[in-house]
């Protein structure tokens, strides 16, 4: 299966780099061998070589050695660039285990505390259906205390998340993965690779290579450029996503703190309203404000994240001055050329023929691994957003709370002189609020547990994105060691 370019860039086409690195290792190992065999088997090439002077042949061999040394340097630089990209992604996506438990647990406590208050209020509304004087102020105080605990849990947990994100940012900066330093390192490394490639092109122009010898050398250069372009595209995708998600999270948590602070203010107003009814006039508008903020929080957070994505995309456009990247179809043709050139020499032993066969299998598997990383990362992110009430519960709870605040305002300003009607309107508002809180109380723990089990199952099968990237990092270390050992 061959992915289209848009999906390749979206997923990073990351693991396919491993396959290309192996191709380059084969070329590094067999270019001299293929050259000699090609000289012996191709009559046209033989005629050309026979007409060359010994000094010219020596010059050509010297140019090839220089090109081969540049290739070694380029491959090592690409390995280092790939290693940085992987470490960058692992670091910026790192989330401490306690955060995956504490925040959903606190949000569940928030919904439970608010739900407890709503249930107490409904019970008292039913009790005073025909006789409002039967409503117990003592019971209402206990309900308000429950709501106060819930709002503190909700606001404090979001505050903790903001602080934890700030600490993670400081850690990333210390490790050299801050946005500014990461971008600077990537540009410096890519510029160095471009300089090496330019030097290689100059040598290719001067070297009088022909036939299979030239084709093999050109093929290696194309593969190096392919890897560089893929790694740059991969970094750009991860960099933009990291900035977008960071902006999204910070906006969400900040608005969640404001929402719970507004709810806390509403609870304090309700407490005072038990002693003086004039305070109740401010309760409805305060509940409307908290409900409105809760309703728009996910949408507003997504909008700020999207704005950040557009800004970062525009900022990165053209910074690396990439030429049009080769497609996977082009690389498929390059691979077929590589196989034909190496096989046609007739000098490959059984071990190396097996290596070519394994390389063909690896070429097919790498794209599937990329798809796995992309798919599982999206699934995990979605489960975490739902567990944190980012996606589903937040807007529903907020809109239902908005309805309750509206009914509370109507009850006070329209019917405060008619306690029976006012109480029945408040009962309707309580039912609306309880529906949203019950939904949050169900969705939050369910999604948190589902996310935990899902990640646990991925780790058990070795398919977690972090595991796949860690394995890719280990493979890169092995490749680097092989390249260095072969050059000695």
Concatenating the DSSP letter of every residue in 61-119 gives HHHHHHHHHHHHHHHHHHHHHHHHHHHHHHHHT---HHHHHHHHHHHHHHHHHHHHHHH
Chain centroid to Cα 161, Å, comes to 18
Helices 350-387 and 97-127: crossing angle in degrees, nearest 10, is: 30
Q: Which of 103, 104, 97 is nearest to 449 (CA)?
A: 104
Backbone φ/ψ region at 291: left (φ over 0), alpha (ψ -120 to 50), beta: alpha
Whole-angstrom distance, CA of residue 465 vs CA of residue 396: 31
pTM of the model: 0.78
The string of pLDDT tens digits covering residues 154-188 is 999 999 999 998 998 898 888 888 989 999 999 99
Give pLDDT, residue 371: 55
Please give the chain's pLDDT, 488 residues, in tens: 333 333 333 443 444 455 555 555 555 554 444 444 434 433 433 443 444 455 555 555 677 778 878 888 888 888 888 889 888 888 887 777 788 888 888 988 988 999 999 999 999 999 999 988 899 999 999 999 999 999 999 999 999 999 998 998 898 888 888 989 999 999 999 999 999 998 888 887 776 666 666 777 777 788 788 778 888 888 888 898 889 888 988 999 999 999 999 999 999 999 999 888 888 889 999 999 998 998 888 889 889 989 999 999 888 887 776 555 556 666 667 667 766 666 665 545 554 555 455 444 444 444 445 555 556 566 566 555 544 555 566 677 778 888 888 999 999 898 988 989 999 999 988 898 888 888 888 888 887 788 788 888 888 888 777 887 888 788 778 777 777 776 55
- In whole angstroms, give the CA distance from residue 459 to residue 467: 7
Collapsing DSSP states into helix, strand and coil, what is residue 345? Answer: coil
Q: Three-state DSSP class for 430?
A: helix
Neighbours of 191 (CB within 10 A): 12
**pLDDT value for 47:** 45
- Which among 305, 71, 337, 317 has a CA at the least distance from the CA of 201? 71
Q: What distance in Å separates the CA atoms of residue 88 and residue 92, rounded to the nearest whole number? A: 6
Q: 99-127, pLDDT tens digit by residue?
A: 888 888 898 898 899 999 999 999 999 99
């Amino acid at each position: 299966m061959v992915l289209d370019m848009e999906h390749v860039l979206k997923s990073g086409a990351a693991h396919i780099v491993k396959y290309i690195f192996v191709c380059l290792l084969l070329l590094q190992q067999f270019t001299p061998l293929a050259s000699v065999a090609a000289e012996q088997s191709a009559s046209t090439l033989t005629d050309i070589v026979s007409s060359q002077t010994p000094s010219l042949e020596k010059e050509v061999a010297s140019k090839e050695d220089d090109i081969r040394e540049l290739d070694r340097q380029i491959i090592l630089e690409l390995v280092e660039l790939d290693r940085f990209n992987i470490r960058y992604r692992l670091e910026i996506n790192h989330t401490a285990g306690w955060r995956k438990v504490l925040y959903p647990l606190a949000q569940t406590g928030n919904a439970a505390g608010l739900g407890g208050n709503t249930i107490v209020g409904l019970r008292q509304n039913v009790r005073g259906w025909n006789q409002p004087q039967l409503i117990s102020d003592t019971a209402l105080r206990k309900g308000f205390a429950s709501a106060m605990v819930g709002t503190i849990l909700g606001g404090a947990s979001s505050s903790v998340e903001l602080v934890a994100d700030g600490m993670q940012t400081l850690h990333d900066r210390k490790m050299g993965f801050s946005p500014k330093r990461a971008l600077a390192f990537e540009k410096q490394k890519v510029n160095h690779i471009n300089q090496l490639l330019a030097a290689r092109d100059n040598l290719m122009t001067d070297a009088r290579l022909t036939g299979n010898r030239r084709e093999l050398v050109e093929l290696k250069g194309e593969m190096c450029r392919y890897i560089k372009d893929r790694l740059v595209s991969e970094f750009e995708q991860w960099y933009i996503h990291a900035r977008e998600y960071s902006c999204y999270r910070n906006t969400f948590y900040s608005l969640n703190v404001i929402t719970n602070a507004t709810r806390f203010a509403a609870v304090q107003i309700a407490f005072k309203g038990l002693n003086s009814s004039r305070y109740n006039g401010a309760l409805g508008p305060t509940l409307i404000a908290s409900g409105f903020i809760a309703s728009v929080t996910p949408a507003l957070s997504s909008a700020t994240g999207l704005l950040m994505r557009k800004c970062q995309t525009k900022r990165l456009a053209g910074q690396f001055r990439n030429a049009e990247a080769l497609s996977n179809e082009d690389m498929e043709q390059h691979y077929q050329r590589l196989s034909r050139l190496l096989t046609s020499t007739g000098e490959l032993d059984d071990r190396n023929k097996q290596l070519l066969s394994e390389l063909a299998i690896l070429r097919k598997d790498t794209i599937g691994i990329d798809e796995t990383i992309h798919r599982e990362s999206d699934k995990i992110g979605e489960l975490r957003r739902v567990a944190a009430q980012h996606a589903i519960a937040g807007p529903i709870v907020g809109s239902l709370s908005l309805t309750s605040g509206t009914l509370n305002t109507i009850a006070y300003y329209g019917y405060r002189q008619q306690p029976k009607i006012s109480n029945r309107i408040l009962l309707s508002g309580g039912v609306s609020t309880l529906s949203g809180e019950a939904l949050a109380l169900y969705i939050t723990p369910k999604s948190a547990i589902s996310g935990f089990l899902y990640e646990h199952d991925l780790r058990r099968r070795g398919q977690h994105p972090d595991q796949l990237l860690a394995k890719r990092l280990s493979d890169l270390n092995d490749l680097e060691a092989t390249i260095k050992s072969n050059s000695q």
